[in-house]
Chain A
């Protein structure tokens, strides 16, 4: 009697669970579609003939590519890949130069920031000295007011240095990051004291402990802070907009905004092509670093 009643119950709960899984997946997929549809659309528009009228939903997906009557070669021909060649080799908007600038600036800033911040974090997390906590508090406080207040004075200072429209203006103000210091400190503080003491017994100085004990253990922290500052620097808009003024010194992000004015309302396919060109490196970088990303956010948010 008991057995007979148990079986359908188990079946039912299996069914409920299966239903739940299906519903959850459906919701997850729906959300993914909602979040990514604009990107798919962006790519489709970027492949639209650039001189045609505003692409509409009906014209976006070429007939030759529909399931009925699908024709691989004809379908392929409908996509205007030459938009990409055009955007990358425009005579008046040097996109290649923008790329170069973004790469130079981002590389130097990220490398510099990691070095400067990790050194400081070592001091804050592993050494004791007078005023340490107060100075660290100054770092934390500075995170609150970054933004409009400091931009004007920094601009005036950089102008006084004669740095405007040079790489120095794009790089030097970005070399410090209170957030990275904070992130490294959280990480370093969790490394057991014993490792450090063992090294000290061997007569190692602080610089060696930093370089040979702490840093090798902190690859994840490096990757996390690096990923964060990479995206922050690569997509920074306000500062490069102010600090540079010749076409040759623009970064990709600012250079892209020129497209909007040049091709405003008139040429959406070229605008979207430019947008894809800017997005693609970010997407690739993200796919490589995404696990550090999540880790970094959790680290920054919880401790």
Chain B
């Protein structure tokens, strides 16, 4: 292949930007994390790995990690199953189907702040949309200030907002499955259920993997709804790690400690993504042999 050094010029602006706003900050964050760095104080002593050691012993941090984990463990699988189901429903040749596709996407494009405000109202005790219905059965739940409910209220909302993109991804996966495979299954006298398990699902493995990894990463970084709706409360039950780090950095101004915490979070995310990749890898290999 002929070398074309002019390529450097083409990629220069984007690469400089990437260096300046992604890689240098990463290095800078690593540097910060070695200091007792308080934005309000002039003295910023070097303390080595103490921030990391402190983080590992910080109950509030692990509470936040656990909150993010349970948020992710429920919102991602449930959200994916719902999205797959909707994608299957919408992958049919019916009149007006694209209209539904558009409608279902609307929650996802909405402003996070507006949606959060809307859902605070939906969850309002007594007068909220949900409690108006529950009151008919004599129930009234203050979703966002009850420690047992607040997290699930956020999860439910995330399934609502996250449906659109996941549904489109699954739909793309479904469309890409060659019809010949279905025809073959038909010839074998397979039932629709069997076809779904033995043809559709295996063929969707790469899509599922992609949806899983991106959803996990974004679920671990959820911030706006927590900031707007619960502020980590009640009793720290919705203090997810994204909000926890925000508050360490921008409410307490301990940016050194917050940097250490965000590195530990990054490691955790990478580990989970790698583990997901490993778990899916065998499936992926199975997929590539089917196709080729």
Interface residues of A (CB under 8 A from B): 21, 24-25, 27-28, 31-32, 35-39, 41-42, 45, 54-57, 116-117, 119-120, 122-124, 127-130, 132, 135, 138-139, 142, 144-154, 156-157, 173, 175-176, 178, 181, 205-206, 210, 231, 234-235, 237-238, 242, 252-254, 256-257, 259-260, 268, 271-272, 274-276, 278-279, 282-283, 286-287, 290, 293-294, 297-298, 301-302
Contact = CB atoms under 8 A, between A and B. Distances in A.
Contacts of B232: none
Given A31-B104, A142-B18, A287-B102, 19 more contacts: A24-B92, A27-B89, A31-B86, A32-B104, A41-B122, A41-B129, A42-B118, A56-B127, A123-B10, A154-B21, A154-B25, A234-B111, A235-B111, A238-B246, A256-B113, A274-B114, A286-B109, A294-B172, A301-B210
Interface size class of chain B, counting residues whose CB lies under 8 Å from the partner chain: 35 or more
Contact of B113 (A128, A278, A302): A278
B53 interface: no
Given A138-B18, A142-B22, A283-B106, A127 B113 contact: no
Contact of A36 (B103, B227, B266): B103
A54 B15 CA distance: 52
Pairs of residues from A and B, 8 with the lowest C-beta to C-beta distance, nearest first? A176-B17, A123-B10, A120-B14, A127-B7, A298-B172, A153-B25, A153-B28, A275-B114
B237 to A, nearest CB: 20
Nearest to A150: B25
A144 B160 contact: no
Contacts of A156: 28, 32, 255
Contacts of A231: 109
Given A32-B100, A302-B206, A38 B122 contact: yes
A144 B13 contact: no
B262 A148 contact: yes
A24 B100 CA distance: 12
B169 interface: yes
Contact of B94 (A24, A145, A181): A24
B132 to A, nearest CB: 4
A116 B100 contact: no
Interface string B123-167: 010010100100000000000000000000000000010010100
A152 B249 contact: yes
Contact of B118 (A24, A253, A275): A275
Nearest to A230: B109
B34 interface: no
Contacts of A130: 3
A262 B269 CA distance: 37
Nearest to B90: A28
Nearest to A120: B14
Given A128-B2, A235-B111, A150 B26 contact: yes
Interface in B204-251: 206-207, 210-211, 217, 221, 223-224, 227-228, 242, 245-246, 249-250
Contacts of B199: none
B255 A301 contact: no
Contacts of B217: 144
Contacts of B2: 128
Contacts of B21: 150, 154, 173, 176
B172 to A, nearest CB: 4
B176 interface: yes
B172 A129 contact: no
A260 B113 CA distance: 9
A72 to B, nearest CB: 27
Contact of B10 (A120, A259, A276): A120
Contact of A149 (B15, B25, B94, B111): B25
Contacts of B262: 147-149, 152
B182 interface: no
A128 B4 contact: yes
B184 interface: no
A301 B18 contact: no
B280 interface: no
Contact of A120 (B13, B206, B245): B13
A108 to B, nearest CB: 14
Contacts of B117: 256, 259-260, 271-272, 274-275
A119 B11 contact: yes
Nearest to A37: B129
A128 B129 contact: no
Given A148-B221, A260-B117, A297-B168, A35 B269 contact: no
Contacts of B97: 28
A88 to B, nearest CB: 16
Contacts of B13: 116, 119-120, 176
Contacts of B32: 152-153, 156
Contacts of B23: 138, 142
B287 to A, nearest CB: 13
B105 interface: yes
B89 A24 contact: yes
Interface in B28-45: 28-29, 32
B1 interface: yes
A181 B255 CA distance: 31
Given A37-B129, A282-B111, A117 B92 contact: no
